[in-house]
Structure 1
Amino acid sequence: MSGFIFSEKPIRIDRGEGAYLYDTNGNEYLDFGASYACTPVGHCHPEVVDAATTQLEDLFYVQASYPHAARTALYEQLADVAPVDIDNVWLCNSGTEANEAALKFARHATGRSKIVATKRGFHGRTMGALAATWKDKYKEGFGPLAGDFEFVEYGDSEAMAEAVDDDTAAVIIEPLQGEGGINPVSKEYLQSVRVQTATSGAALILDEIQTGLGRTGELWAADKYDVVPDVLTTAKGLASGLPMGATLCRDWIAEDSGNHGSTFSGGPVVSAAAGATLDVLERESLPAHAAEVGAYIRGQIEDRLGDDVREVRGHGLMIGIEVKRGSNRLLRDLALNHDVLALPAGRTVLRLLPPLTIEREHADAFVDALEAVLA
C-alpha cells in the first residue's frame, strides 16, 4: 500500500550522504534535485545530524510559549542574516504555512484585502497560498478559494503598477519563479515593484521558499536584487529537510500582525537542525560556492549541449534547462539509466536544485548523463 496523494517512483531510497542518495539495493544516485532544494548542505551533514541528535536526547518538543534555547537562538540567527530591517521571526512547519502567515499578517497590518500575485507563480497548496498560486490544475475542485486575488504578468512593470492600488494589502512574488519554469526577472523590475508597494502602502512579500538560503548565489535572492521586502518567507532547506518554515517581517508588519499561532512552531529538534544548517551555509560560504558552480554548469550545458536545448536560465544552483522534448521522459531516463536525479518545472523544463556542496566533478557527471539521454 502506498500514500494516496503521491505517485511513487520506482526507486526505494534507503539513505543519503552529501550529494548522493542510495536505494535499498545499494545503488548510488547523484541527487540534482535535493527533494526540491531541501538539503542545501548535503544529505545528513554531520553537524546537522549531531545538533538534531543531541537535542533529541534532551527534549523532543515544547510549545513555543515556553522559551527554549534552540528556538531562541534560531530567532536571533535568522534576524541576523535576514535583509536589513527585518528583525521579526515567525516559525512554522512548511513554506505553505509561511506564506499563509505572510498573507494574514499583511492583511491585518494594512487593513486591506486585495492580494496581487503573478502568473506562473507558485506559493503553496493550502487555501490562502493556493489562491495566490497561478496554475489551475492545483486549484481544480477546491474552490471557492480565499478572497480577493489578482494576477498580473510576471516581469511586466506596467501591469503591476496598474494592479497595485489603495485596496492592495500585499504583492506576493518569487524573485525567481521555480515551479513556473525557472523564470528570472530583471533587477529593475523587482525594484519597481518595491517602489509601487511602498508608494501605495501595500506590503511586499518575497517568497524565497525555493530561492533562499544561498540557492541563487546570495543567501537571499533579495540581496541579489538589492530589494528589502516587508515580509520574506523561507522553508525547504531551512532545517536540512526537517519540516520548518519561517516568515520574517519588518516591524510595521509584526506590530499589527493579528492573532496567529501554531502548535509546532519552532520545535527544539528542528530549531537545532536549522541553526546548524545556517552555521554550515555561512562558514563554508556555500552561497558564493553555488554561484561559482552554477555558472560552471550553465556554461558547460551551453557549450556542449547548445544544439540540443532551447535555453538555460537561472541563478546560482537554481537552474532551468528548456529542452525540445518532454521533460518527464528525460528525467526517467536520467534516473533509471544514468543514476542521476533531477526535477521537472513544467512539461519541457528540467529543474536543477542540487545540494550547494556539489563540486565541478558532480557538475561534469550530470552534464555527461544529460548529453547521453539527449543523444
Structure 2
Amino acid sequence: MKLFDVYPLFDINIVRGKGCHVWDAKGEEYLDLYGGHAVISIGHAHPHYVEAIAKQVATLGFYSNSVINKLQQDVADRLGAISGYDDYQLFLINSGAEANENALKLASFHTGRTRVVSFAKAFHGRTSLAVEVTDNPKIIAPINDNGHVTYLPLNDTEAMKAELAKGDVCAVIIEGIQGVGGIQVPTDEFMQALRRACDDYGTVLILDEIQSGYGRSGKFFAHQYAGIRPDMITVAKGIGNGFPMGGVLISTKFKPVYGQLGTTFGGNHLACAAAIAVLDVMKEEGLVENAAKVGAYLLEELKGFPAIKEVRGRGLMIGLEFAEPIKELRSRLLFEQKVFTGVSGTNVIRLLPPLCLSMSEADDFLSRLHKVIG
C-alpha cells in the first residue's frame, strides 16, 4: 500500500531529538526552530516527559471515558493554576481541529444561532466546521462550504462591530496570534473591543490558542496581553509535546449535559500523563518566562537584519516577512546551515522553536541566518 501523497517532503529522515536539536538517519544534527509546527513545547525527549509516559504505558495506556480517570482532573487542576483559568471547565479531545469543532458546537447549542465570524488569513483546522471557518478556499470541500461564515479583516473594529450588531452571530473565533496566516497579531485594543461587542450582542467569543497558547507568546495565552477572558479557549499542539491531545477551556456560562459532547480517545491515560509532564516541566523550568525573554531578544536582533522586510510576533512565535519569496532561503537554512524553520505563504518564515530555546541557541540561529542573508 502506498501512502496518500498529500505532503511535499524534504529528503530528510529525522530519527532522534534532544532539547532544541534533532538528528537525521545519517547522523546530521539540526537546530530545530520549528518544533514540528509549534508542537514541541518543552523540548525533544525531555527526561521527565519520557519517564512519565513510559511509566504510564507500562501501567495503563487506555481505558474508556465511561469510568473515572483521575489523571484528567489532575490535568485540569494544573492547567487551571498555571493559566489563570481555574474557574473554567475542561473538555479533553485529540487535536486542535477537534477542539474548535467542539467549541463551535457548544456555542451553537448555547445561542441557537448558526452564523460565525472568522478573520482573513485564519486557520482553525481541517475538519467540518474547523475548515469552514478557515480562510482558505483551496482546502474547503463543497460538503464543508455551508455558508455559515463571514470573514472580516483582522483588527478592523468598525467592521467587526457592524457584523455583530446584526444580532445573529453565534460565535466569533479568532487566533491569539495567527500562525498559518503569517504571524499576524491582533491588537490589544481590537481584542478588547471584540470582547465588549460579543457581550453586547450575545455572541460567544472563542480564542483559538492552539498554536499561540501554552506559553509560546511569553504569556500562557496570547490573548492575556489584552487582559480579556474569552468564553472558550481551544488548545492542542504544545499540550502534549508531541503526543496527540487537544482541549477546550469552557466558561461556567456553559452547562454540561450528558451526551452533548463525546470522544473515544480524548483524555486517555497516556495522553494525560504526557500533559501532566509538560505542565510540570513548564512550571519547574520557567518556560513561559524563558519564551518571553529569549523571544524578546530574538525579535529585537532580527529587526537589525536589513534583508527582512518586517518582523512580527510575541515570545517564541515569530514571523519574518521578506520582499521576495523565501523558498530558496528556507532551503539554504535547512540544507546548508542545518536549521529547521517553518513557512507561511510565499514570503514569510515562521519560527516556533521549543520553549526551552536558550540565549546561546538563539545566537547560534542568528549567526546561521546571517551566513545566508547577510
After TM superposition, the score normalised by the length of structure 1 is: 0.96
Indicate the SS of the match to 2:216: coil
Indicate the SS of the match to 1:189: helix
Pairwise CA distance, 1:254: 3.8
Distance 1:264 1:114 in 2: 29
Deviations 1:269-326 (A, max 9, x none): 11101011011112211111111101111121122x1x21101110000000011221
Unpaired segments of 5 or more residues in structure 1? Answer: none
Distance 1:265 1:361 in 2: 38
Distance 1:296 1:257 in 2: 48
Q: Which residue of 2 aligns with 1:367?
A: 366
Q: Which residue of 2 aligns with 1:347?
A: 346
1:219 aligns with 2:220: yes
Question: 1:71–1:272: 8 Å Cα contact kept in structure 2?
Answer: no
Q: Which residue of 2 aligns with 1:203?
A: 204
1:233 aligns with 2:222: no
Q: 1:146 to 1:85 in 2, by over 3 A?
A: farther
**Residue type at the aligned position of 1:150:** T
Pairwise CA distance, 1:347: 0.8
Give percent identity, aligned residues only.
Answer: 37
1:158 aligns with 2:158: yes
Instruction: Supply the RMSD in Å over aligned alpha carbons.
Output: 1.5
Unpaired segments of 5 or more residues in structure 2? Answer: none
Q: Which residue of 2 aligns with 1:315?
A: 314
Question: 2:93–2:265: 8 Å Cα contact kept in structure 1?
Answer: yes
Pairwise CA distance, 1:256: 6.2
Q: Which residue of 1 aligns with 2:267?
A: 266
Deviations 1:133-175 (A, max 9, x none): 0122222x44442441111111100011011132111100012
Indicate the SS of the match to 1:289: helix
Deviations 1:323-351 (A, max 9, x none): 12212221111111110000001110000
Distance 1:129 1:74 in 2: 25
List 4+ stretches of structure 1 deviating above 6 A. none
Pairwise CA distance, 1:359: 0.9
Q: Which residue of 2 aligns with 1:15?
A: 16
Question: 1:211–1:318: 8 Å Cα contact kept in structure 2?
Answer: yes
Distance 2:87 2:134 in 1: 25
Distance 2:290 2:73 in 1: 29
**Residue type at the aligned position of 1:362:** E
Indicate the SS of the match to 1:288: helix
**Residue type at the aligned position of 2:61:** F
Question: 1:105–1:256: 8 Å Cα contact kept in structure 2?
Answer: no
Indicate the SS of the match to 1:253: coil
**Residue type at the aligned position of 1:269:** L
Q: Which residue of 1 aligns with 2:193?
A: 192
Q: How is 1:254-333 mapped onto 2 (pairs within 5 angstroms)?
A: 254-255=255-256, 259-303=260-304, 305=305, 307-333=306-332
Indicate the SS of the match to 1:361: helix
Distance 1:43 1:186 in 2: 32
Distance 1:41 1:146 in 2: 39
**Residue type at the aligned position of 1:155:** N
Indicate the SS of the match to 1:177: coil
Question: 1:108–1:257: 8 Å Cα contact kept in structure 2?
Answer: no
Distance 1:258 1:206 in 2: 24
Indicate the SS of the match to 1:309: coil
Pairwise CA distance, 1:86: 4.6
Question: 1:105–1:257: 8 Å Cα contact kept in structure 2?
Answer: no
Question: 2:115–2:171: 8 Å Cα contact kept in structure 1?
Answer: yes
Question: 1:235–1:245: 8 Å Cα contact kept in structure 2?
Answer: yes
**Residue type at the aligned position of 1:290:** A
Question: 2:176–2:221: 8 Å Cα contact kept in structure 1?
Answer: no
* Paired residue total: 372
Distance 1:2 1:329 in 2: 27
Q: Which residue of 1 aligns with 2:28?
A: 27
